[in-house]
Amino acid sequence: MSIIEQLTESLRCLPGVGPKTAQRLVYYFLKNHRKQALILAKNLDEAMNTVIQCEVCNNFAVSEICTICKNPNRNRDLLCIIEQPTDLLAIEQSHTFNGYYFILTGKISPIDGIGIHDIGLNKLERYLKNEAVREVIIALTPSLETQATLQYIQHIVSTYPVKLSQLAQGVPTGSELQFLDPITISTAMKNRHLIDA
């Protein structure tokens, strides 16, 4: 396989990129975007080799603890549970939340064989034990898996003096946080409602 073919093939790992698009990208870079391609390659290499998961919250980080967990000026009372680092960015951009985050590494799904031990809930339990959290805010995309996951989170939270709340309307059913605009997220955060723990 020639290097051009190899490059085309490796670009196909990108979501939504088929053989034709991959080919177009390769020619785009080779023709007159070599400098940008080299910067892309360098940044990819560095990011893939240095970015790790935060020990505390599972966010992407370049040191053991991420910049948000390290920040002493946020509100220790609040912990927001989300599905992925892009949700964290979306909430941060809505400027409505000043607490800390916990990112699940998956959702409970018996059909796929994903149980409570696969989604990092023991880390959440450790978090609640170590920090004086007063409110846990659930910001998960509604689905069957979310229901099962939520039940288990409720179970964990119920052993601590912690309120449990959930983002309110404004978040359309089935839509992922990362694709919502900051105003929708901000409304949902302000109107969050308590769940019986």
Give the residues lining the site for Zn ion (CB under 5 A): 54, 56-57, 59, 66, 69
Residue 20: CB partners within 8 Å, gap ≥ 6?
Answer: none
The DSSP bridge pattern shows strands 135-138 and 78-82 to be parallel
Which residue number, 57 or 82, has a Cβ lying nearer to Zn ion?
57
Which residue number, 65 or 194, has a Cβ lying nearer to Zn ion?
65
Supply 55's token pair: 């020990």
- By CB atoms closer than 10 A (0-12, 13-18, 19+), residue 138 is buried
Tell me how far, at minimum, the Cβ of 102 lies from Zn ion, in Å. Answer: 8
Which residue number, 61 or 157, has a Cβ lying nearer to Zn ion?
61
Tell me how far, at minimum, the Cβ of 6 lies from Zn ion, in Å. Answer: 37
Tell me how far, at minimum, the Cβ of 41 lies from Zn ion, in Å. Answer: 28
Tell me how far, at minimum, the Cβ of 84 lies from Zn ion, in Å. Answer: 14
Neighbours of 47 (CB within 10 A): 11
Closest CA to 156 of 102, 89, 92, 86: 102
Tell me how far, at minimum, the Cβ of 68 lies from Zn ion, in Å. Answer: 5
**Cα→Cα distances 76→27, 67, 134, 178, Å:** 51, 14, 8, 24
Which residue number, 26 or 82, has a Cβ lying nearer to Zn ion?
82
Which residue number, 59 or 94, has a Cβ lying nearer to Zn ion?
59
